[in-house]
Amino acid sequence: MRIWFRLALSLTLLMLSGSAFGYSKPSPTTPGKYTNWGGRIEKLEIVAPFRLADYQRIVVEPLDTSATPLPKENAKTYPPVKAVLSQATSPFLAGLSGPFPKTPASIGEPGKSAIPGTLLVRGQVVEMDPGFGAPRYSPDGAGATHTVISGEVVDGGTGKTLLRFRQERRSGSSRDMVVSGGARGGVPDFHPVSRRLFAEGDYEKTLSFDVRQIGEDLADVLRSF
């Protein structure tokens, strides 16, 4: 009797631990508009359900940076921001493709990658702010770099939009911020790499790392389907 009681108690604690210590927010895959999806994604709209296993490849069209605001041309942050924007698709692709060894990801040309069995990712860099550029402690992330990318995931065979997303990443000397529920509602997410890059004053590498992390965030979304 005691053995069965202990077994039942263990199973109960296991189930409770899963709900108590899992994601801070639910990660639904049903159609709808979500804020702070999974406790990490700022905004996600699931337009139509799909199965990642039904696709053989992921193609990222070059990120649109034509309307991204730039620092003043005489600012020291202008050259690195321009440099990162000129090749922003590469770190984004690196972050996105890491978790999918069986679903290769590549950069494609707009209008030429829409074929069956392909997930198309189209996006634009909405903001890329290098911050104050000086190592400092700020409990709310003020002065940190921040990059915002929004976009959509499309079925290459039908042209139907499956997902729409908007995600921001911040890096600072004291903490990184994964923004939840808007640009001022960040949740601390310590990451030693971007913290070190920011502290070193390397704008280009820090902003590139922000872009890469947004690619990783989108990969986490896709893995849920």
* Spatial separation of the C-alpha atoms in residues 137 and 117, rounded to whole Å: 47
Are the CB atoms for 58 and 223 separated by under 8 Å? Answer: no
Here the contacts of 51-56 (C-beta below 8 Å, separation 24 or greater) are 51/225, 52/103, 52/119, 52/222, 52/223, 52/225, 54/117, 55/103, 55/117, 55/118, 55/119, 56/103, 56/117, 56/118
Is the dihedral angle over the CA atoms 26, 29, 33, 38 positive or is it negative?
positive
More confident residue, 8 or 216: 216
Question: Could you tell me the end-to-end alpha-carbon distance of the chain, in angstroms, rounded to an integer?
Answer: 42
Residue 179: both structure tokens together? 């923004």
Look at residue 56 and tell me whether its pLDDT is greater than 70.
yes
Give the DSSP letter of residue 183.
Answer: T
More confident residue, 71 or 144: 71
At 17-50, the pLDDT tens digits run: 333 333 456 789 999 999 999 988 999 999 999 9
Look at residue 111 and tell me whether its pLDDT is greater than 80.
no
Are the CB atoms for 162 and 224 separated by under 8 Å? Answer: no
Q: Which residues pair with 60 in a beta bridge?
A: 107, 121
Q: For the whole prediction, is pTM greater than 0.75? A: yes
Say what the pLDDT of residue 200 is.
52
3-state secondary structure of 10: helix
